[in-house]
Chain A
Amino acid sequence: MDYLRVIWTVARKDLLIEMRTRERVAAMGSFVVLVGVLFNYSIDTAIVRPQEMAPGIIWMTIIFAGLLGMGRTFHLEEEDGAFSGVLQTPIPLDALYLGKTAANLVILSLVTVAIFVVFSVFFGLSFGSHPVVLAAVVFLALLGFVGLSTLFSAMSARTTMGESLLPVLEFPLLIHMVIFAVKATSRLFAGRPVSEVTGSVRMLGAFAIISVAAGAVLFRHVVEE
């Protein structure tokens, strides 16, 4: 139970800071709306129905917004060397990683809901008739994404390239999430039966488990000094 308490403490701290500063949510939220506007002008609606392109656009927006926000995961603690103080505490480093991942997941989930709402308003989208399955697809994809992002943002914070390293590190590994998330989302938006997305849900689940497990095991090697 102490282990879970540590995860909760770390996540709560990050979420409290975010609630008070609104630094990441403000940037990600603005990004979502403005990207929606830009996408409207990048699609010729006389030729292409937004409903058909929506899954791909939504997931690319999630990824770019996520990179924007997740890159700042360790930014606050890196300032003034505060992270050394965090490392001095007797908490397991994998619990620290899971706490950070949990906080990032909450923040990115909120931004994802905003993406779905904004794009639904802008493009008149319909989300199909299986909202629970859609939520499961989104949750698992986000979990895998955030698992990798938290690990790699800890790494990029300690390099000379900083956040510009994140896309190069992450994008090759995110392709699996994108393929199955977009495939499942497209099928659900098109009103296809749930049986057509169960395979994608399993692959997203496997990706999420692998990402978080690998992150938890490897995090100590990234942060140790």
Chain B
Amino acid sequence: MAQNKLRQTGVALAVLGTLGAMLVLWMVFFWVPTERTMGIAQRIFYVHVPSAWIAFFAFGIVALCSGVYLWLKDERLDMAALAAAEGGMVFCTIMILTGPLWARVSWGTWWTWEPRLVLTLLLWFIYFSYFLVRNATVNPEQGKRFAAVVGIVGVLDIPLIHISVSWMRSLHPEPVVL
């Protein structure tokens, strides 16, 4: 009964999410006015920036669930961390792919070695190492613990991304919202 209710909730969320995504895509491509200086390329902002927020927020969930998992040893926390890591990695990938597309148009280059881009790429690799370590052990329980440790240590990267923008000169746009 509970399984059925969970499944129904999942389906409802998926349908709502899909409808919401379709609405947002319509707004991005048709409803929002075209930006004066960057033209239509600016519309990548609406995909790139939320992807960044989700990637970082998801990793925060990974770290939180990992920490409490190591403390309470509750499997559900590990499952939540894994789910967050999977989603976070997808959005981190979207962020890293859309960033250069926008950069090519607005900065004239696919990539620059400025700190925020570099540290975001490294966040992707932290996600990658989370999955790598999880699957590299003979004992799956050990893999979950190792992944949790990687998640906790990796979350140190996130505030340093924000700090690095103010510590080092950067041509990445200064934070507008956060």
Contacts and interface: CB of A to CB of B under 8 A. Distances in A.
Nearest to A168: B129
Interface residues of B, number: 30
Interface of B: 70, 115, 118-119, 122-123, 125-126, 128-129, 132-133, 136-138, 142, 145-146, 148-150, 152-154, 156-157, 160, 164, 167-168
A148 B142 CA distance: 19
B149 A160 contact: no
Given A173-B154, A175-B122, A214-B153, A159 B136 contact: yes
A166 to B, nearest CB: 10
A179 B118 CA distance: 11
Contacts of A168: 125, 128-129, 132
A168 B148 CA distance: 16
A173 B150 CA distance: 10
A169 to B, nearest CB: 5
A160 B136 contact: yes
**Interface of B, helix, strand, loop or mixed by DSSP:** helix
Given A168-B128, A221-B148, A222-B146, A148 B160 contact: no
**Interface of A, helix, strand, loop or mixed by DSSP:** helix
Given A173-B154, A175-B122, A176-B160, A165 B133 contact: yes
Interface of A: 148, 151, 155, 158-161, 165, 168-169, 171-173, 175-176, 179, 199, 203, 210, 214, 218, 221-222, 224
A221 B128 contact: no
Contacts of B70: 218, 221
Contacts of A161: 132, 136
B137 A158 contact: yes
A152 B168 CA distance: 29
Nearest to B143: A159
A165 B152 contact: no
B93 to A, nearest CB: 15
Q: Which 10 A-B residue pairs are closest in the complex by CB-CB distance?
A: A172-B122, A159-B136, A172-B125, A161-B136, A218-B149, A172-B126, A169-B129, A168-B129, A221-B145, A221-B70
Contact of B157 (A160, A172, A199, A214): A172
Nearest to A222: B149
A58 to B, nearest CB: 19
Given A165-B133, A179-B168, A222-B146, A160 B153 contact: no
A169 B150 contact: yes
B118 A175 contact: yes
B167 A199 contact: yes
Contact of A160 (B118, B137, B164): B137
16 contacts: A159-B137, A159-B146, A165-B133, A169-B133, A172-B126, A172-B154, A173-B153, A173-B154, A176-B164, A199-B167, A203-B167, A210-B156, A218-B152, A221-B70, A221-B149, A222-B146
Nearest to B125: A172
B133 A179 contact: no
Contacts of A172: 122-123, 125-126, 129, 154, 157
A159 B146 CA distance: 10
Contacts of B157: 172-173
Given A169-B129, A222-B145, A148 B153 contact: yes
Contacts of B129: 165, 168-169, 172
Contacts of A160: 136-138
